[in-house]
């Protein structure tokens, strides 16, 4: 016992003796490191910059995690109301049969998965789903179609334009994800009232060819450019757990940081492995990696909404709360994501209420959509 005490006392005097053993496998500095990477703070902390170097972003990502989260939370408070979380509901309006070969996707026709292809849904079920989402506190309604692009889909596109127009008339933000867009298609979506268009870069430029071969990184950037030029908000982020390394997570954030205007929304998805896809056996990404990615994105993209997207249902309540502390300020809520589970509205309302969080106002209508989850002063019981 006395010997153990002497050893601990000696280590306390020489903490550097502990450091090598306490560095984790990815080489991130840990809390007891006597010389943690100094946070790189600048006079422009919290301001939008398009001149981040990749090395700067990597340093933020590699800093001690608690320091990065604290810094991200500070930047978050300079640019956002930290009590607000945007609630979005996603509907798959055309499932499966996609000609792209994204290795994570159950909707690709390249793989044999449980997802069955279906036709574009009718307008009325979409409007019904949007009304239900609004009644439950969602301020953004997103519609996804499993297509490479809209080529040869004239009548389908007209139908979608009507959906956009009608949902927008409900005073909801409307988002779509329909594959590659031409400038003219982007313009028509804007005219119909589209608020945002989702087109993820997925990962770094270097790792991207390991995941998708039927569409190039630059084609994705071209669609994002068409969306931007049409005056539509850009929603573009990625997926963690594809087999990428930390450098690729950094590469993704760095890539969008170089845009003249940062995306208004940056979704952070975690892979939900789908049987039959090439990535069905991938190991889950750690919660700490998700937090590092969110916190780094918050610091580098200070005004962007950071969206905790697919895979959120795999995190317990405390893990989600840490993600909100790290700067995530949007979730998908409702019955389903495109093909994976989602946390239902009542659970999310109760969770947000327990942490003193509220639904974000719609960009356009400026009205509060407080989450009606609890009596004042009464804390619902945790379910996670
Ligand atoms: S992610 Fe989208 S583009 Fe890729 S295969 Fe799935 S539906 Fe098609």
Q: Is the pLDDT of residue 57 over 60?
A: yes
Position in ligand 1 atom list of the atom nearest CA 148: 3
More confident residue, 284 or 19: 284
Q: Is the pLDDT of residue 274 over 60?
A: yes
Q: Is the CB of 320 under 6 A from ligand 1?
A: no
| Half-sphere exposure in the Cβ direction for 268 (13 Å, CA) | 30
Q: Which one of 94, 96, 100, 197 would you pick to mutate in the ligand 1 pocket, going by the greatest count of ligand atoms within 8 A of its CB? A: 100
Please say whether the beta carbons of 344 and 333 come within 8 A: yes
**Residue 306 exposed, middle or buried by CB count within 10 Å (0-12, 13-18, 19+):** buried
What rounded mean pLDDT belongs to the chain?
85
Q: Is the pLDDT of residue 122 over 50?
A: yes
329 — pLDDT class (breaks 50, 70, 90): very high
137 — pLDDT class (breaks 50, 70, 90): confident
More confident residue, 45 or 218: 218
Q: Is the CB of 340 under 6 A from ligand 1?
A: no
More confident residue, 23 or 102: 102
CA 6 to chain centre: 48
The span from the CA of 136 to the CA of 322, in Å, is: 24
Please say whether the beta carbons of 373 and 380 come within 8 A: yes
The span from the CA of 307 to the CA of 139, in Å, is: 14
78 to 46, 74, 324: CA distances (angstroms): 6, 7, 15
Apex CA 272: angle with CA 294 and CA 373, to 5°? 65
Q: Is the pLDDT of residue 24 over 60?
A: no
Q: Is 249 annotated as a binding residue?
A: no
276 — pLDDT class (breaks 50, 70, 90): very high
Positive or negative torsion for Cα 143, 145, 149, 155: negative
Q: Quick one: what percent of the chain has pLDDT higher than 70? A: 81
Instruction: Identify the pLDDT of residue 69.
Output: 97
Nearest alpha-carbon partner for 148 in 89, 205, 212, 77: 212
Helices (H), 263-382: 287-300, 317-325, 345-354
Instruction: Identify the pLDDT of residue 159.
Output: 96
The span from the CA of 146 to the CA of 178, in Å, is: 7
Helices (H), the chain: 2-13, 54-62, 65-79, 123-135, 154-168, 183-192, 217-229, 246-257, 287-300, 317-325, 345-354
Distance 181 CA to ligand 1 centre (A): 14
Give the mean model confidence (pLDDT) for residues 229-256. 97
Instruction: Identify the pLDDT of residue 73.
Output: 97
Distance 277 CA to ligand 1 centre (A): 12
Give the mean model confidence (pLDDT) for residues 240-268. 97
Instruction: Identify the pLDDT of residue 136.
Output: 87
Domain 78-359, CATH number (from 3.30.360.10, 3.20.20.70, 3.40.120.10, 3.40.190.10): 3.20.20.70
Tokens of 47: 């301001």
Q: Is the CB of 295 under 6 A from ligand 1?
A: no
The span from the CA of 168 to the CA of 195, in Å, is: 8
CA 109 to chain centre: 25
Q: Is the pLDDT of residue 364 over 90?
A: no
**Residue 88 appears among annotated catalytic residues:** no
pLDDT digits (tens, 9 = 90+) for 152-175: 899 999 999 999 999 999 999 999
315 — pLDDT class (breaks 50, 70, 90): very high
Q: Is the pLDDT of residue 18 over 50?
A: no
Q: Is the pLDDT of residue 23 over 70?
A: no
Q: Quick one: what percent of the chain has pLDDT higher than 90? A: 72
The span from the CA of 191 to the CA of 185, in Å, is: 10
Q: Is the pLDDT of residue 379 over 80?
A: no
Q: Is the CB of 202 under 6 A from ligand 1?
A: no
Give the DSSP letter of residue 283: P
pTM: 0.85
Least confident segment among 16-20, 82-86, 129-133, 341-345: 16-20
Highest mean pLDDT of the ranges 41-55, 276-290, 370-384: 276-290
Q: Is the pLDDT of residue 344 over 70?
A: yes
Q: Which one of 90, 97, 101, 105 would you pick to mutate in the ligand 1 pocket, going by the greatest count of ligand atoms within 8 A of its CB? A: 105
Q: Which one of 94, 96, 102, 197 would you pick to mutate in the ligand 1 pocket, going by the greatest count of ligand atoms within 8 A of its CB? A: 102
Cβ neighbours around 192 below 10 Å, total: 19
Distance 145 CA to ligand 1 centre (A): 9
Tokens of 130: 């949007």
Instruction: Identify the pLDDT of residue 360.
Output: 84
Q: Is the CB of 113 under 6 A from ligand 1?
A: no
Instruction: Identify the pLDDT of residue 342.
Output: 67
Nearest alpha-carbon partner for 315 in 290, 293, 298: 290
Q: Is the CB of 277 under 6 A from ligand 1?
A: no
Instruction: Identify the pLDDT of residue 172.
Output: 93
Q: Is the pLDDT of residue 76 over 80?
A: yes
**Residue 342 appears among annotated catalytic residues:** no
The span from the CA of 51 to the CA of 54, in Å, is: 9
Q: Is the CB of 100 under 6 A from ligand 1?
A: yes
Tokens of 269: 């998805």
Distance 95 CA to ligand 1 centre (A): 10
Residue of minimum CA distance from atom 4 in ligand 1: 102
């Amino acid at each position: 016992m006395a010997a153990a005490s002497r050893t601990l006392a000696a280590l306390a005097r020489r903490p550097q003796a502990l450091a090598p053993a306490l560095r984790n496998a990815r080489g991130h500095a840990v809390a007891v490191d006597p010389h943690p990477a100094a946070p790189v703070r600048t006079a422009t902390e919290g301001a939008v910059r398009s001149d981040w170097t990749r090395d700067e972003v990597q340093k933020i990502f590699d800093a001690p995690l608690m320091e990065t989260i604290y810094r991200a939370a500070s930047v978050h408070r300079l640019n956002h109301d930290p009590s607000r979380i945007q609630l979005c509901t996603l509907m798959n309006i055309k499932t499966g049969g996609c000609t792209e070969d994204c290795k994570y996707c159950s909707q690709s026709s390249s793989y044999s998965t449980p997802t069955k292809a279906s036709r574009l849904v009718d307008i009325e079920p979409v409007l019904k789903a949007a009304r239900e989402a609004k009644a439950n506190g969602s301020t953004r309604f997103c519609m996804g179609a499993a297509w490479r692009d809209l080529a040869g889909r004239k009548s389908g596109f007209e139908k979608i334009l009507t959906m956009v127009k009608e949902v927008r008339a409900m005073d909801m933000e409307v988002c779509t994800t329909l594959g590659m867009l031409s400038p003219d298609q982007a313009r028509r979506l804007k005219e119909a009232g589209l608020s945002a268009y989702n087109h993820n870069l997925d990962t770094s430029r270097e790792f991207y060819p390991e995941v998708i071969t039927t569409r190039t990184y630059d084609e994705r950037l071209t669609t994002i450019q068409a969306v931007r030029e049409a005056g539509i908000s850009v929603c573009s982020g990625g997926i963690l757990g594809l087999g990428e390394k930390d450098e690729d997570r950094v590469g993704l954030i760095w890539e969008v940081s170089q845009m003249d205007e940062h995306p208004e929304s940056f979704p952070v998805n975690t892979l939900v492995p789908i049987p039959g896809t090439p990535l069905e056996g991938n190991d889950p990404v750690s919660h700490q990696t998700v937090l590092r990615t969110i916190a780094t994105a918050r610091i580098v993209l200070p005004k962007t909404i950071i969206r905790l997207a697919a895979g959120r249902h795999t995190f317990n309540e405390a893990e989600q709360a840490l993600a909100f502390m790290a700067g995530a300020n949007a979730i998908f809520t409702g019955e389903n994501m495109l093909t994976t589970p989602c946390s239902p509205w009542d659970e999310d309302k109760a969770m947000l209420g327990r942490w003193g969080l509220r639904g974000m106002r719609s960009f356009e209508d400026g009205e509060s959509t407080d989450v009606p989850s609890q009596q004042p002063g009464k804390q619902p019981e945790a379910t996670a």
